[in-house]
Amino acid sequence: MSTLVARLHEGLPVQAVLTDPDVTASYAHDMAGFCPAGAPAAVVLPRTAEQVRHVMRTASELRVPVVPQGARTGLSGAANAVDGCVVLSLVRMNRIIEIDPVNRIAVVEPGVVNADLSKAVAAHGLAYPPDPSSWEQCTIGGNIGTGSGGLCCVKYGVTAEYVLGLDVVLADGRLLSTGRRTAKGVAGYDLTRLFVGSEGTLGVVVRAVLALRPAPPPSLALAAEFPSTAAAGDAVCRIMAAGHTPSLLELMDATTVKAVNTMTRMGLPESTRALLLAAFDTADPAADLAAVAAVCRAAGATGVVPADDAAESELLLAARRAALPALEGVKGTTMIDDVCVPRDRLADLLEGVARIAERHGLTIGVCAHAGDGNTHPTVCFDASDADESRRARESFDEIMALGLELGGTITGEHGVGLLKREWLARELGPVGLELQRSLRRVFDPLGILNPGKVF
């Protein structure tokens, strides 16, 4: 311990190395439940790429594990400490280095908060589309590490589609630059994409070149009530099959609607079994909403309420963003699943989750990025009740199994971390697992980067 701290201080300011156990304990875990967390030997808060390189060189020489972290808003345990590790918190590397309106790129450090980047590029008439629910707290580095998505993925895609290039500090302290600043580029293997979603197991991102888009017009939204999840799922399929391109297509089941009402007093319709939210940011959003409203009614919607203006639309979207905090308030603790299925199996997933909830005697609310089939079944339970906690974990696993049975994946945007390692092996199969482990060893032969995560 003393040798490690002394070596870290050789290339870092005193205030950048934290060793007080009461302080370091606060960096031990992210927001995932059921994931063990160890005690860090030290927490380091670098401000420069060179300081990160010093940390990795030191850790490599002393064979000390390193756990990279962003804002710790993750939901898979990927940022959890292991005993004796160096937690490498990148939140102080938070500079927006460049915004280039001509080439439509931004160059940023990993600690930049998603919402701060969005506001900065908006001043140039541009937008950075990925918008996770935690966008006001989560960082770009964390978004890259988990390959995060957001509410607007149905039209604009996920983080991976906006990362053009990276500067990455490798496990031995070398600095690797990948990718490009140009609109096109196919030189060599796509190492940039390899790092996106790698959860800190291949290297530490210290700079990112991100693609931007022209800022879209203000969006308009509607809410459609359905008497069943099957009818809501049918509406989603009809909307997409008809060629509509909503900027947002979100779903909340009855359990989620009730929880949001309890927390926010918004007065959402609790008589509905599923509430579908659609939004358009096109040149004529009212016309697009009218067309989607007709599709919803044809699929069995019992009520369709379009917003009159951007303010009303934002209220509807605020209800969806409140879903996960509201479900946390049901029993005090939640396990948030992240199963993504083909759009035409969305209703099957929702109905299956309802059966799992009934079988285990639990409250499980589902909110979903319905436009891309990414669901977030959220198991609500009392963590102080051992039997209920056991049932919560069993139901969580059953939901992942259901997702795979329906042709889906165990994670659409939250990552694997500690929470889903066993399930990743099932999804990849033995050949895929072997090749991915081999890739990890190429980048980190000593196994010091985020050990125990993903595999």
CATH label of the domain that carries residue 266: 3.40.462.10
| pLDDT value at 1 more than 80 | no
Q: Residue 195 sits in which domain range?
A: 96-214
Q: What is the pLDDT of residue 34?
A: 83
Q: Is residue 345 part of a domain?
A: yes
Are 160 and 69 in a shared domain? Answer: no
Would you state the pLDDT for residue 382? 94
Give yes or no: residues 259 and 111 share one domain: no
How far is the C-alpha of 293 from the C-alpha of 285, rounded, in Å? 12
Tell whether 126 and 208 lie within a shared domain.
Answer: yes
Q: Examine the domain organization and report whether 300 and 320 are in the same domain.
A: yes
> pLDDT tens digits, residue range 241-296?
999 999 999 999 999 999 999 999 999 898 999 999 999 999 999 999 999 999 99
- Among 89, 122, 140, the domain boundary falls at 89
Residues 353 and 295 in one domain: yes
Average pLDDT over residues 361-377: 96
Within-domain flag for 448 = no
Same domain, 235 and 264: yes
CA distance 246 to 232: 16
CATH number of the domain residue 51 falls in: 3.30.43.10
Q: Is residue 102 part of a domain?
A: yes
Look-up of token digits 């590790």: 85
Q: Is 422 a domain residue?
A: no
State pLDDT tens for residues 12-48: 999 999 999 999 999 999 999 789 999 999 999 999 9
CB atoms within 10 A of CB 236: 27
185-241, pLDDT tens digit by residue?
A: 999 999 999 999 999 999 999 999 999 999 999 999 999 999 999 999 999 999 999
* Range from 125-129, 307-311, 358-362 carrying the lowest mean pLDDT: 307-311
**pLDDT tens digit string along 341-363?**
999 999 999 999 999 999 999 99
Please report which confidence band the pLDDT of residue 331 belongs to, taking 50, 70 and 90 as the band edges: very high
**Shared domain check, 385 and 300:** yes
Regarding whether 372 and 305 lie in a shared domain, the answer is yes
Tell me whether residue 447 is in a domain: no
* Co-location of 141 and 155 in the same domain: yes
Residues 110 and 182 in one domain: yes
Distances (CA, A) of 316 to 256, 263, 278, 335, 416: 14, 15, 10, 25, 30
CATH number for the domain spanning 105: value is 3.30.465.10
- The pLDDT score that the predictor gives to residue 151 is 87
CA dihedral 268, 347, 361, 419 (to 10 degrees): -100
Query: Among the three residues 44, 70, 89, which one is the final residue of a domain in this structure?
Result: 89
Q: What is the pLDDT of residue 247?
A: 96
Q: Does a structural domain hold residue 419? A: no
Q: Which of 286, 284, 396 is nearest to 32 (CA)?
A: 396
pLDDT band, very low/low/confident/very high, at 133 (cuts 50, 70, 90): confident
Q: Return the bridge partners of 220, or none.
A: 280
Q: Which residue, of 187, 214, 241, is where some domain finishes?
A: 214
Q: Is residue 432 part of a domain?
A: no
Question: 103 and 187: one domain?
Answer: yes
Q: Are residues 190 and 244 in the same domain?
A: no
Write down the residue that tokens 């699943």 correspond to. 337
- Alpha-carbon 237 to chain mean position: 24
Average pLDDT over residues 411-438: 95
Please check whether residue 39 lies inside any domain of the structure.
yes
Structural domain total, the chain? 3
- Reply yes or no on whether the pLDDT at 389 is more than 90: yes
